[in-house]
Amino acid sequence: MQVVVSRAGVVRGLRLAAPLTVGLVPFGLVVGVLAQGLSALEQALMSALVFAGASQILALELWTDPAPIASAALAAAAVNLRFALMGPHLAAWLDALKGWRRWLSP
């Protein structure tokens, strides 16, 4: 299976994904409200390192001072187990990617 990435394909993907932004705005507002107790650096790191929205909200809900890192990480891992079902389906497609494209794929 050969995967071809083209400029036209990327533009088409962006156009098809545009309606999803309707759901991203409320999510961003919720995360912003929940992350009020964090510094700007902590908020940026949370957004950059936690890719699953449900895990991000869960971690922010569990966040106290001092932060229960082990329990937040375990809860986030439990929430993300649902993604384990996607792995076998995506394996053939991901195996066809080479080099930097493999590392930048979702």
Bond from prior residue into 88 cis (ω within 30 degrees of 0): no
Q: What pTM was estimated for this model as a whole?
A: 0.57
* End-to-end CA gap in the chain: 18
Query: What is the rounded distance in angstroms from the CA atom of residue 88 to the CA atom of residue 10?
Result: 25
In terms of residues, how long is the chain? 106
Query: What is the rounded distance in angstroms from the CA atom of residue 57 to the CA atom of residue 87?
Result: 23
- pLDDT tens-place string over residues 20-31: 888 888 988 888
Amino acid at 12: R
95 pLDDT above the threshold of 70: yes
The conformation of residue 95, written as its DSSP 8-state character, comes to: H
